[in-house]
Amino acid sequence: MTSAPLPSLDEIRASARVVTLPLATRFRGIEVREAMLIEGPQGWTEFSPFVEYPDAEASAWLAAALDFGWNPSPPPRRDRIRVNATVPAVDAARVPEILDRYDGCRTAKVKVADPGQSLADDIARVRAVRETLGPEGRIRIDANGAWNLDEAEHAIHALTEFDLEYVEQPCPSLDELVELRRRVRYLGIPVAADESVRRADDPLAVARAGAADLIVIKAQPLGGIRRALQIVAEAGLPAVVSSALDTSVGLSMGAALAASLPSLDYDCGLGSGSLLSADVVVPPLRAEHGGIPVTRVDVDPAALDEWSASPERTGWWMSRLERCHGVLAQRG
């Protein structure tokens, strides 16, 4: 399938809108999510790298947005994607309230190793998730690379009693992941790589090094659906599709990616719309009966107006768009 040429900056800017959406719960240290929405020939698409990301990294997110907005998605193999609940680093007492937002989800990803918290906090949170989901529920934990090797080994042992599905990015480096897999192999808990794929110069290095049992892929950071599919094919590892606190538009891109994978053995991290208390789509793309549909979504004009970013923030994003477009144009 031939991709459309890079659209001009004027063509992109003509429909670009920037929104600032409040979060229902503080997540990744932020309380609002900024995103740029763009209408392409194929429909609405999203450009929303986190504000601290440099242009070289953010340009991959723009490539993904333009791919989704200007090119047809690959043929889907499924029309519905099972999704997991995401539990931020909240107090254990809030876990039932958080999980209640995810209708019918059988799997929960629990954030651990948050700055300022202890392993005891993590254990209490995971225990609360297990008690809420029951014995049949699936629990995966995500440390975002915050543990060193010994901390990760100790934490995994401490959390083993909760029957973990896998542990995501427990350590930052490939060498640490390789050694950790060796140390905990007897426990039967797989290690997943996220940052080691999406923020790496070589996303396939994790597979070559034997540093993970599965990989977490996200459409925007990897440069789009086609690039993500290529990485999965070359890595030869099971994949979990996830999101990056996207609006419903970005989640629809992730669902299109998940729908096109040859196999999909894990529930996907595409239920994160429940972390937002407002969205640009009515109704928002949130978990119902444990899943979301594979569909292109239409942005609600009233929501765009209601949650429109300030002129200052809109100008900041327009400047970022111009810079990242320049990066893509130089790459050809």
Distant-in-sequence, close-in-space partners of 196: CB < 8 Å, separation ≥ 6: 145, 169, 172, 174, 177, 205, 206, 211, 212
Q: E-strand spans in the chain?
A: 17-27, 30-40, 43-47, 80-82, 85-87, 107-111, 138-142, 164-168, 191-193, 214-217, 239-241, 291-293
Q: Is the pLDDT of residue 299 over 70?
A: yes
Q: Indicate whether 150 belongs to any domain.
A: yes
pLDDT computed for residue 138 by the predictor:
98
State the average pLDDT for the chain. 96
Q: What is the CATH number of the domain that holds 116?
A: 3.20.20.120
pLDDT in tens, 300-313: 999 999 999 999 99
My answer on whether 100 and 28 are in the same domain is: no
- CA pair distance 229, 180, nearest whole angstrom: 27
Domain that holds residue 108: 80-293
- Within-domain flag for 46: yes
Asked if residue 153 and residue 65 are part of one domain, the reply reads no
- Within-domain flag for 220: yes
Residues 87 and 102 in one domain: yes
Residue 1 reports pLDDT greater than 80: no
Based on the domain organization, do 198 and 123 belong to the same domain?
yes
* 109 in active site: no
Q: What integer pLDDT is reported at residue 211 of this predicted model?
A: 97
Is 3 a member of any domain? no
Query: In angstroms, what CA-CA distances link 295 with 41, 79, 155, 224?
Result: 16, 8, 39, 16
Same structural domain, 112 and 224: yes
- Would you call 111 a catalytic residue per the annotation? yes
Give the mean pLDDT of 85-95: 97
Residue 294 pLDDT exceeds 70: yes
Residue 4 lies in a domain: no
User: Are residue 242 and residue 322 in the same domain, yes or no?
Assistant: no
82, 254 contact by CB (below 8 A): no
Assign 26 a pLDDT band (cuts: 50, 70, 90). confident
Q: Do 253 and 114 share a domain, yes or no? A: yes
Spot the catalytic one: 111, 125, 130, 226.
Answer: 111
Catalytic residue among 17, 125, 130, 218: 218
Do 48 and 98 belong together in one domain?
no
| pLDDT of res. 29 | 82
Rounded to an integer, what distance in angstroms lies between the CA atom of residue 209 and that of residue 163? 26
pLDDT of residue 30: 87
Q: What are the tens digits of pLDDT across the range 310-325?
A: 999 999 999 999 999 9
Q: Are residues 15 and 85 in the same domain?
A: no
Task: Please give the average per-residue pLDDT across 251-261, as a whole number.
Answer: 98
Q: How far apart are CA 252 and CA 258, in angstroms?
A: 10
Tens of pLDDT, residue by residue over 94-125, are 999 999 999 999 999 999 999 999 999 999 99
CATH of the domain at 60: 3.30.390.10
The per-residue pLDDT for 25 is 84
Gap between the Cα atoms of 19 and 36, Å rounded: 6
Domain count, the chain: 2
* Residue pLDDT, tens place only, 143-181: 999 999 999 999 999 999 999 999 999 999 999 999 999
Same domain, 148 and 218: yes
Q: Are residue 110 and residue 57 in the same domain, yes or no?
A: no
- From the annotation, which residues make up the binding site? 142, 168, 194
Residue 68 lies in a domain: yes
Query: Binding site for Mg(2+): what residues are annotated?
Result: 142, 168, 194
Q: Does one domain contain both 140 and 281?
A: yes
- 240 within domain boundaries: yes
Determine, yes or no, domain membership for 106: yes
pTM of the model: 0.96
201-to-107, 188, 198 alpha-carbon distances in Å: 31, 30, 9
Residue keyed to tokens 């659906």: 225
